[in-house]
Structure 1
Amino acid sequence: MAMTVQVIYPTGEGKTFDYDYYVETHLPMVGKVMGPHGLADAMVTKGLAGGPDAPPGYFAVATLMFPDEAAMKAGLGAAGPLLEDIPNFTNVQPDMLIGTTL
């Protein structure tokens, strides 16, 4: 069964997010680090709004797709360099959601 990991970066007072660094440096790093462990695909949604006339509640949501649980666990097991890179583009502690596709 296909698995997903979503990394969710909430907005808030005093929180920052460098989209240029994220797109140009961090995302390619995700492919290099997790690709050999079974990362099948990845996509990022940039937060634009939280509804009509409402600011976004999230800077971004990254969705990482793996073919199965073993690949996901291998990818997460290799994620150390990615976690160490987070302070280079945000001061946010991201949330995670691990799930399966329906």
Structure 2
Amino acid sequence: MSTIFWITLAGAVLTYLTRIGGHLVLSRFERIHPRVEAGLDAVPAAVLTTLVAPAAMEGGPAEVAALVTGVLIALAGGGMMPLFLSSAAVLILLRNIL
């Protein structure tokens, strides 16, 4: 079999083990310490920050406008799909115009 097949298979297995590993470790405990729980609750915000911060700092006007659009829709109480679609539409439109 080709090398690409084995690399893909290894990547899939490692991804699965990474995803299931956290669940298996935490399921062994009856109760999670509040500090651990607070740290785990902070992970989505930290990941989002690492994705958004470079676009905000190094992006052009199209990226900044898309971020502002996303923030406004989030503050208005829009769901994730309207937030994503409107920000993507603003980004695509302004990248083609500018």
Q: Which has the higher contact order (CA 8 A, sep 6+)?
A: 1
- TM-score, normalised to structure 2, is 0.31
Normalized per residue, the structure richer in helix is 2
Larger radius of gyration: 2
